[in-house]
Amino acid sequence: MMAARQSSFRGVMLKNELMARHTSWRVGGPADHFYKPAGMDDLVLFLQQLTKNEPVFWLGLGSNLLVRDGGIRGTVICTSGALNDLVFLQDQRIRAEAGVSCAKAARFCVQNGLAKAEFLAGIPGTMGGAVAMNAGAFGGETWQLIDEIETIDSTGLRRMRSPNDYQVKYREVTGPEGEWIAAVYLKPKSNLADFSLKDEKGVGKKQIKQLLMLRNSTQPTQQASAGSVFRNPPGKYSAQLIESADLKGKCIGGACVSDKHANFIVNMGNASAMDIESLIEYVKRAVKQFHGVDLTEEVHIVGEPAK
């Protein structure tokens, strides 16, 4: 049971909210409780009143995520459109709350002279999610930019954490147990000569535009997907393995391997989460049989199957 003294905190509280409304694959059953805070202070109040041992699931833009048809037990906390403060600090760092979209952060970084952050524009998620999994695009990885982390725990207690408190790998991050990412601090890691404050020559803006054009030309951005489905195995590319196994266009129900990029599965409009998960397993088996390579999901699969 979740504490329900809504009057003490602001935000949107919903019961039995379909996760299909909040995921980029447009699938997913109901969450018992769905909360979008009005801001960080309200999130703290909410967590302080949450019943002990209530399961909590954090949600950003709903990309890189497959919620099963049975939905999520417990409480979903949505940061997108809620924890969205983005500021340039006097110490030349940028503070981005967890719900800030990576695309927005990329533009803001460029405007304020943070070097080599353009790749963030190619990550279809929020900064909280990008940091939690070390998301990357176009050769860049999120943790290249991280200077400090602000966390929050189940009691609403906020802490500052150093990158040294985390073990960061390819698409995998392990940090202090029981703490979630509330905000990140970004700082230039390269020589000052690599960037000019305020991007006076517009170089960063042009790079972002070029990266987005490349993304649109190589990925099915106009269809419902969750981004890359599988991690790249060492020394290999999942998309090439899947394509050479002749799996482009393979469908199960309303879910299909994209004809545009083989490491994307798209919802043709009527897919269930079960269709997508079944296709993920089919692709894994086929690539194993064809190449002898085990693919590992990059997308997170959560929730319960339909009853």
Of 81, 85, 89, 34, the C-alpha closest to 58 is 34
- The active-site residue, picked from 228, 238, 258, 272, is 228
244 is catalytic: no
272 is catalytic: no
- The active-site residue, picked from 97, 150, 179, 298, is 298
At 43, list the tokens. Answer: 């999130």
225 is catalytic: no
- The active-site residue, picked from 161, 171, 215, 231, is 171
CB 3 within 8 A of CB 50: yes
The residues near 165 (Cβ < 8 Å, ≥ 6 apart) are: 149, 175, 176
Place of tokens 């088996």: 285
Give the side-chain half-sphere CA count within 13 A for 105.
Answer: 36
What are φ and ψ of residue 293, in 5° steps? Answer: -115, 135
Kindly list the strands in the beta sheet with 146-153, ordered across the sheet, starting from the edge strand earlier in the chain: 86-88, 94-97, 179-186, 146-153, 158-161
| Residues acting as catalytic residues | 171, 228, 298
